[in-house]
Amino acid sequence: MAVIIVNDLPADVTADEYAKVSEIIQSQGDPDGLVFHTGFVKGDHIQVVDAWESRGQFDAFRESRLMPAIMQVMGDRMAQGPPPPEPDQYEPLDLQTS
């Protein structure tokens, strides 16, 4: 069953850092199970919304690709800070792609 994953990034994460993490991930090809991804500025922070074929595929991506890319870009700042918050998860009523 598809899931919607919503991440509210900490306010100190910059658009440049977000773009660098995205570039690393995109250079590795499409993640297995990703239906769509978008990120945008919402007030004082960046919000990321994804649709995945399953929560397990998101979790695998987060561990194997997302967190290493974040560590590569943010390094010590990430290592010294609190762990990233758990994303919100929603069950879509429908999911349309073109």
Residues in the chain where the model's pLDDT stays below 50: none
For residues 58 and 61, what is the distance between their CA atoms, to the nearest angstrom? 5
| Interval 69-97: pLDDT, tens | 999 999 877 777 777 789 999 999 998 88
Those residues with Cβ within 8 angstroms of residue 64's Cβ, 6 or more apart along the chain or in another chain:
none
Question: pTM value?
Answer: 0.90
Which CATH code of 3.30.70.100, 3.30.300.30, 3.40.50.300, 3.60.15.10 fits the domain covering 3-90? 3.30.70.100
Spans of all domains in the chain = 3-90
Contact 6, 87 (CB under 8 A): yes
